[in-house]
Structure 1
Amino acid sequence: MSPNPLPVVARYGARTAGLRWEPVGGGFSGAAVWRGTEPDGTPRLALKAWPADFPPSRLAAIHARVALLTHLPYVPRVHATPGGDTVVVVAGRAWDLSSWADGEPERGEPSAARVSSAAAALAAVHAAWRTSATGPAPAVLRRLGVIADWDANRPVPAGPFGDAVRRALRTLPPFLAVARSALQPWAARPVPLQPCLVDVWPEHVRFSGNAVVGLIDFGAVQTDHVAVDLARLFGGFPGPSRLGAGLAAYRAAGGRCDESDAFAQLLADTGVACAAAAWVARGGPPSAAPRLTALLDRLSP
């Protein structure tokens, strides 16, 4: 059952007064999102109920990272209650309120101008979060962990998700074997590390014309190598890979990616099979069947 947003809305006082609230989804994680609109239909705010197991302390840490991006107009602002809290906990669940992100995601093959704009937006985020830390890339270790946990004899659930799981059990083993061999040399190799978005898919980047006007969903922010964001975003568009063009535009915009393009390509190439394996291990939810199927389709010749 979807949680009731109205007790949370009331916590924000005048900021939310007079707005109408309508549910707009929330993805596969168990989150739920509402859009707050003016009486004339203009969207103003996004209210998010985070998954029930998402710690409020983690959300507060994410807000601290996002606060470093207030100079970037395409990053939604996180709003506080009159008491100064950016995280509201109601019925044991963490909530937050942010400005509504305008624009629309690219649903087809992006133009060169949109690739350049997205790369520049990502470079600016990374520049604000840059550190001097080094260590093995967590993206590599996560992928190796998914491969190590792969179980081809796992129970298959019923329904459409079960159909996708059966296909994955047939399809994934050779891809995971290749991924293990390719990733292993990087398992102990130190690389530059800093906060990254980690889960930045094309649908999270909003455009108006060729300009980026919105960048949403910071829920997976964690320390990693910047190539994980480049691989996920530019390897996620349909059609021919935009990763090479994205990397060139990223560096032209001042982004630092010290490793060769081959490292980002490795993360892109192994990310699809490992993401599919992670969905299988997660066991759903049933609504994730299209996402798992889409990942498997990308592995088909």
Structure 2
Amino acid sequence: MAVKQQVEELIYALGHWLPNPRVAQFCGLGEGSSFSGAGLWRVEHGGQVYVLRRWPPAAGKGCHINRITWLQRHLAEAGLPVATPLQLLEDPESLLFSITSKVSGEREISTWTLTSWLPGVADYWTYPRPAKLKAALRTLADIHLAATSFNIADAHGKLRVARSPALSRRADRLATLQAGDLAELKSPVTRAPASLTRELAFHALAHAERALPRLGHESHRWRDEPLPLQWVLRDVWHDHLLFTEDRVTGVLDFGAAAVDSPAGDVARLLGSLVGDDEAAWQLGLDAYASRRQLAPDELAAARFFDASGTLLSAMNWVHWLYRDSTALGPNVDLPAAHRRLERLVARLRSLAPT
């Protein structure tokens, strides 16, 4: 898409929330966002700062995006550090709008939202402190508590005890890897040109092969284990948590939010922030429990969420880098991808028996 055409699309989108959108200033956020036709833009308008988001075409299908946007507004109105989605000027009952267009002869839906800007920096890895870790887990617990009163839900959105959809999917994926997909992943890596990332991929595959039997066996329990389910974030990790000194001032990206076990969020956040540091895990769990108690089964599930998530995330990156790069898009940041895989491989070592 030409730059001029992209700018006109951004102005048209912004005009659904703000008057006189042509005076706005836009700046792309993140690799591939600026003029790629999809992504995030920082918007300055009338002395205020916002984030304009164009959701991927697949995300615009159905009404899930509408539910999670209202969830985000519900949490923001509860006083949590979550960006507030704005209501449309012409329809205050709506937080999003969609444009239908034809791309290569096919109908495509582009869905847009505008939210407030959140202050802070995702700097825990650079400046890790116990106070920041405790603030992160307390904020997560507060989000989970506030989400229980969210009254716009799908057919299964109310609090209940049932099987975790995420753990069921993980059990299936682990079984697929054991049944031969792990061996198939080795072929494209072997054919790829030599590089440091390729060596990392080989290490990931080797560690995964050793860890798979144990995790595959444990998955049989967690596939059918009943756990408390509610709306959760599902993608809460280091880069989605903003700090101002030791305070959490922003929780970003609700695109993966769904009904599942809060234990998955706890595992995702702790595994991302502190890795295998057991003392830090306990500090974080205690901070979370000071707001919301985790039942014994939830605590055990968090450990499996973490271990299985580490292995499957590493295999996803090997798949995206060497077998199918379509999920990464044309503007993938390869050094950042290398760093992500490097962290996962370091954690995989602790899962694989020696």
1:61 matched to 2:110? The reply is: no
Query: Contact 1:108–1:238 (CA<8 Å) still a contact in 2?
Result: no
Choose from 76, 95, 113 the match for 1:96: 113
Other-structure match for 2:345: 296
TM-score by length of 1: 0.87
Query: Contact 1:156–1:162 (CA<8 Å) still a contact in 2?
Result: no
Kindly provide the amino acid, as one letter, of the partner of residue 21 in structure 1: F
Other-structure match for 1:87: 96
Deviation at 1:17, TM superposition (A): 6.3
1:174-253 equivalences under 5 Å are: 174-238=210-274, 240-241=277-278, 242-253=280-291
Query: Contact 2:274–2:281 (CA<8 Å) still a contact in 1?
Result: no
Count of aligned pairs between the two proteins:
297
Q: Secondary structure at the match of 1:75?
A: coil
Deviation at 1:238, TM superposition (A): 4.5
Distance 1:83 1:280 in 2: 46
Choose from 176, 193, 201 the match for 1:149: 176
Query: Contact 1:136–1:187 (CA<8 Å) still a contact in 2?
Result: yes
- What runs of 5+ residues in structure 1 fail to find an aligned partner? none
Kindly provide the amino acid, as one letter, of the partner of residue 14 in structure 1: P
Q: CA separation of 1:16/1:126 partners in 2, compared to 1, >3 Å: closer, same or farther? A: farther
Kindly provide the amino acid, as one letter, of the partner of residue 86 in structure 1: L
Other-structure match for 1:140: 167
Query: Contact 1:77–1:99 (CA<8 Å) still a contact in 2?
Result: yes
Cα deviations across residues 265-301 of structure 1 (Å, max 9, x unaligned)? 2211221001122334453325463233432232236
Other-structure match for 1:257: 294
State the identity as a percent.
26
Query: Contact 1:192–1:225 (CA<8 Å) still a contact in 2?
Result: yes
Other-structure match for 1:47: 52
Cα deviations across residues 217-274 of structure 1 (Å, max 9, x unaligned)? 0001111111100000011114625322111111112x13213533212211221001
Q: Secondary structure at the match of 2:172?
A: helix
Kindly provide the amino acid, as one letter, of the partner of residue 153 in structure 1: E
Q: Secondary structure at the match of 1:206?
A: strand
Kindly provide the amino acid, as one letter, of the partner of residue 215 in structure 1: V
Distance 1:259 1:27 in 2: 42
Other-structure match for 2:313: 275
Distance 1:201 1:116 in 2: 14
Other-structure match for 2:145: 127
Deviation at 1:165, TM superposition (A): 4.5
Higher helix share: 2
Q: CA separation of 1:53/1:198 partners in 2, compared to 1, >3 Å: closer, same or farther? A: same
Deviation at 1:58, TM superposition (A): 1.8
Query: Contact 2:24–2:45 (CA<8 Å) still a contact in 1?
Result: yes
Other-structure match for 1:12: 17
CA RMSD for the aligned pairs? Answer: 2.8
Q: CA separation of 1:246/1:258 partners in 2, compared to 1, >3 Å: closer, same or farther? A: same
Deviation at 1:108, TM superposition (A): 3.1
Distance 1:14 1:44 in 2: 14
Distance 2:159 2:74 in 1: 17
Choose from 126, 133, 137 the match for 1:108: 126
Q: CA separation of 1:8/1:109 partners in 2, compared to 1, >3 Å: closer, same or farther? A: same
Cα deviations across residues 18-76 of structure 1 (Å, max 9, x unaligned)? 33110012689x9511001258xx76100111112112522111112223211224111
Cα deviations across residues 126-167 of structure 1 (Å, max 9, x unaligned)? 112224311112232122122123212145275779825454
Cα deviations across residues 195-234 of structure 1 (Å, max 9, x unaligned)? 1101101111111111111111000111111110000001
Q: Secondary structure at the match of 2:224?
A: coil
Distance 1:34 1:68 in 2: 23
